[in-house]
């Protein structure tokens, strides 16, 4: 599949995360695990979180697929270490805004390296790739809250 033409600096950042993913490892002490698959592109992500109270104490993933899917989840896990569940919700919403071409989201420095993916918003097929990790995160947050509610 042809990679979309992105700003070259952003492209480098995406490739850097793809080649040297952050937090790509098993997290044996995880409290929640979610698998997501993108059949359009063949991307796979298994996201593991260790949730402690209302915080994500640790976030790791195992995955394979295109550079956009793997760089996005790598960048996402960087932002998740120590984040509250509410901050994780806000990150998901703001990243979805970014994928919808929202200008304010594109300027939002709290997204960190994730801003490098803003050019993906012009390529609808690839948005699914970028969102795969965030789909997993949303499901993991939902499961964590259900478990916390059940205790
Ligand atoms: Zn993909």
Starting from the edge strand earliest in sequence, which strands make up the sheet with 55-64, in order?
A: 32-38, 43-52, 55-64
Q: What is the pLDDT of residue 3?
A: 53
- For domain 6-150, the CATH architecture is Alpha-Beta Complex (3.90)
Å from CA of 48 to ligand 1 middle: 20
Q: Walk along the chain (151 residues) and give the pLDDT tens digit of each residue.
A: 455 556 788 999 999 999 999 999 999 999 999 999 999 999 999 999 999 999 999 999 999 999 999 999 999 999 999 999 999 999 999 999 999 999 999 999 999 999 999 999 999 999 999 999 999 999 999 999 998 887 6
SS (H, E, C) 40-51: CCCEEEEEEEEE
Å from CA of 94 to ligand 1 middle: 20
Q: What is the pLDDT of residue 70?
A: 98
Question: What is the Cα–Cα distance from 100 to 120, expressed in whole angstroms?
Answer: 9
Å from CA of 130 to ligand 1 middle: 7
**What would the two tokens of residue 62 be?**
């195992």
Delimit the domains of the chain by residue range. 6-150
Å from CA of 140 to ligand 1 middle: 21
**Per-chain residues with Cβ under 5 A from ion ligand 1:** 41, 43, 66, 69, 129
Å from CA of 42 to ligand 1 middle: 7
Q: What is the pLDDT of residue 6?
A: 60
């Amino acid at each position: 599949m042809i990679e979309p033409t992105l700003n070259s600096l952003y492209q480098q950042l995406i490739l850097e995360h793809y080649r040297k993913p952050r937090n790509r490892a098993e997290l044996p002490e995880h409290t929640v695990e979610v698998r997501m698959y993108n059949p359009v592109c063949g991307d796979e992500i298994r996201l593991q979180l260790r949730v402690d109270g209302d915080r994500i104490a640790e976030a790791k993933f195992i995955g394979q697929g295109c550079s956009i899917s793997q760089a996005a989840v790598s960048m996402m896990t960087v932002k998740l270490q120590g984040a509250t569940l509410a901050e994780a919700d806000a990150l998901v919403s703001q990243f979805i805004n970014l994928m919808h071409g929202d200008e304010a989201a594109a300027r939002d420095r709290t997204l960190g390296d994730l801003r490098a993916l803003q050019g993906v918003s012009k390529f609808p097929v690839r948005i699914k790739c970028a969102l795969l990790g965030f789909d997993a995160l949303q499901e993991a947050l939902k499961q964590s809250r259900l478990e916390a509610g059940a205790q």
